[in-house]
């Protein structure tokens, strides 16, 4: 492995909202697939620089250390020189924002840019980072941002093919509502859940694909806020049926289901759960509308239970800044 060509690299990666998957458990169909979107906040910011020995600093230092140690087992990284990894900002882990995938991708992107070896494609990045074995939304989102629809994997696919990519209108805003306590499934618990989940009925897969490709994507391209909002809710509600055996129902908990009902009753049509939760997202036509909704949420009697975050759609994916 060549010595670093640059002094340091900073990678800023967006967070990922996952709307749901198309299919799993039926070997005659593509596995997983699904839709999601990248948002500009919370952001993962990772600084990687030359060092005398490996160092890990910042709020998720233990996670970065574990990922780097895992990466060093790969043939391409065994001769990697010592580096300092410092996380300058990171979302709270295991809240449905794809932080593990974005961290692994950011590490690989930083190291490869530090060595002046550009990444060639999504499949190469996924292989080097050891990600996208199920969902590829975060992978494509890291590279290009926007609304991502990926088709799911066939046995011979290195990574699921990208079915559609659309940049959402710049004015739109998401509001994240995340309980301060609790977290979604991850790691071995998530793997065990997928191993025991019943196969998704083909009719449900057909419904999800139709909503994604005939409702979500066209509405995003035309800037149809009302149409996209309704499709977003119905896609998430249908996708939640795939996971009912490992959740409280359509949503991860009864609390989240009640929140969805509360949000819809307040006139916000676009609402859903990201991945396993516990983050809910709501969609608003402008920054001003999002601010008004946040103020409304803060008037709830139980408002103190939730973290509220306003996020713009991410365009362009992660950014890489080389510092010589």
Q: Is residue 18's pLDDT more than 70?
A: yes
Q: Is residue 1's pLDDT more than 60?
A: no
C-beta of residue 179 within 8 angstroms of C-beta of residue 255:
yes
Q: Which residue has the higher pLDDT, 3 or 188?
A: 188
- Residue-wise pLDDT tens digits, 47-81: 999 999 999 999 999 999 998 998 888 877 777 88
Mean pLDDT, the chain, integer: 93
Cα R_g (the chain), whole angstroms:
19
Structure confidence at residue 5 as a pLDDT band (50, 70, 90): low
Among all chains, which residue has been given the structure tokens 């989940």?
197
- Residue-wise pLDDT tens digits, 182-231: 888 787 888 888 888 999 999 999 999 999 999 999 999 999 999 999 99
Q: Is residue 297's pLDDT more than 80?
A: yes
Structure confidence at residue 133 as a pLDDT band (50, 70, 90): confident
Q: What is the DSSP string of 141-188?
A: HHHHBSEEEE--B-TT-SSPPEEEEEPPPTT-EEEEEEESS-----HH
Q: CATH code for 8-167+317-323?
A: 3.30.230.10
CA distances from 124 to 67, 112, 120, 196, 274 (A): 17, 12, 7, 30, 26
Alpha-carbon 258 to chain mean position = 24
Task: Delimit the domains of the chain by residue range.
Answer: 8-167+317-323, 173-311
Q: Do the strands 83-89 and 55-57 form a parallel or antiparallel pair, or are they unpaired? A: parallel
> 278 CB contacts (<8 Å, ≥6 apart)?
95, 96, 178, 179, 182, 183, 184, 252, 253, 256
pTM for the model: 0.94
Q: Is 253 exposed, middle or buried (0-12, 13-18, 19+ CB in 10 A)?
A: middle
Q: Which residue has the higher pLDDT, 168 or 114?
A: 168
Q: What is the DSSP string of 12-68?
A: EEEEEEEEE-SB-S-TTS-BB-EEEEEEEEEEEEEEEEE-SS-EEESTTHHHHHHHH
- Residue-wise pLDDT tens digits, 153-166: 999 998 999 999 99
- Residue-wise pLDDT tens digits, 19-30: 999 999 999 999
Q: Which residue has the higher pLDDT, 119 or 152?
A: 152
Structure confidence at residue 2 as a pLDDT band (50, 70, 90): low
Q: Is residue 132's pLDDT more than 90?
A: no
CA distances from 139 to 94, 111, 131, 324 (A): 17, 17, 8, 27
The C-alpha atoms of residue 189 and residue 184 are separated, in whole angstroms, by 10
C-beta of residue 197 within 8 angstroms of C-beta of residue 25:
yes
Using alpha carbons, select from 129, 167, 145 the residue that is nearest to residue 14. Answer: 145
* Dihedral angle computed from the Cα positions of residues 131, 132, 138 and 139, in that order, rounded to the nearest 10 degrees: 80
* Fold of domain 173-311: Alpha-Beta Plaits (3.30.70)
């Amino acid at each position: 492995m060549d010595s670093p060509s640059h002094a340091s690299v900073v990678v800023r990666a967006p967070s990922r909202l996952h709307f749901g998957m198309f299919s799993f458990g039926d070997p005659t169909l593509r596995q997983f697939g699904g839709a999601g979107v990248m948002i500009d906040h919370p952001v993962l910011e990772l600084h990687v620089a030359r060092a005398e020995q490996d160092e890990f600093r910042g709020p998720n230092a233990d996670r970065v250390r574990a990922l780097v140690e895992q990466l060093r087992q790969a043939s391409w990284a065994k001769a990697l020189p010592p580096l300092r990894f410092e996380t300058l900002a990171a979302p709270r882990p295991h809240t449905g924002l794809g932080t593990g995938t974005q961290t692994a991708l950011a590490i690989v992107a930083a190291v490869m840019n530090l060595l002046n070896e550009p990444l060639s494609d999504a499949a190469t990045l996924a292989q080097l980072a050891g990600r996208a074995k199920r969902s590829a939304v975060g992978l494509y989102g890291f590279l290009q941002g926007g609304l991502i629809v990926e088709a799911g994997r066939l046995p011979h696919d290195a990574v699921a093919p990208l079915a559609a990519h659309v940049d959402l209108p710049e004015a739109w805003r998401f509001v994240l509502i995340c309980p301060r306590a609790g977290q979604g499934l991850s790691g071995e618990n998530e793997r065990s859940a997928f191993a025991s989940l019943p196969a998704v009925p083909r009719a449900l897969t057909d419904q999800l694909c139709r909503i994604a490709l005939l409702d979500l994507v066209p509405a995003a391209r035309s800037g149809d806020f009302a149409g996209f909002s309704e499709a977003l809710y119905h896609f998430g509600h249908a996708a939640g049926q795939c996971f009912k055996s490992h959740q409280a129902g359509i949503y991860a908990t009864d609390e989240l289901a009640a929140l969805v009902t509360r949000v819809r009753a307040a006139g916000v049509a676009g609402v859903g759960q990201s991945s396993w939760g516990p983050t809910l997202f709501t969609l608003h036509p402008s920054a001003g509308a999002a601010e008004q909704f946040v103020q409304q949420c803060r008037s709830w009697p139980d408002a103190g239970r939730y973290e509220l975050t306003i996020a713009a759609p991410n365009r362009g994916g992660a950014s890489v800044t080389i510092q010589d």
